[in-house]
């Protein structure tokens, strides 16, 4: 989990607020990796009691598991497929 710096997130082309506008606090595993997970203060606030998980938090935990498996058992990692929560929602439609 890497601390975020101020210029870590690019502006959003969709018109939605970018991560930098939502106070980016961490990047996992880091920005040089493919598809890093960008955690904002809003994401972390959802971990408080009564909060609800969002796709970013679910994807963070999945990615954390994925990176751990890659380190502990590379052979098993190569036999696994990981899909983020957006892909799962698309399958259910």
pLDDT given at position 89: 78
Residue-wise pLDDT tens digits, 11-53: 444 455 555 557 999 999 998 988 899 999 999 999 999 999 9
- Token digits of residue 93: 């439609």
What is the structure's pLDDT at 13?
45
Alpha-carbon distance of 93 to 88, in angstroms, equals 9
Give all strands (DSSP E) within the chain, no chain letters: 2-3, 24-28, 37-40
Q: Give the pLDDT confidence of 60-93 residue by residue, as tens digits.
A: 999 999 999 999 999 999 999 998 888 877 888 8
pTM: 0.71
CA–CA dist 77, 93 (Å, integer): 28
pLDDT at 86: 83
């Amino acid at each position: 989990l890497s601390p975020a710096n101020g210029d870590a997130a690019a502006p959003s082309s969709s018109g939605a607020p970018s991560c930098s506008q939502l106070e980016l606090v961490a990047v996992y595993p880091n920005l040089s990796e493919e598809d890093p997970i960008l955690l904002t203060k809003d994401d972390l606030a959802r971990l408080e009691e009564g909060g609800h998980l969002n796709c970013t938090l679910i994807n963070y935990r999945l990615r954390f598991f994925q990176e751990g498996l890659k380190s502990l058992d590379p052979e098993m990692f190569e036999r696994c497929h990981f899909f983020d929560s957006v892909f799962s929602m698309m399958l259910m439609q």
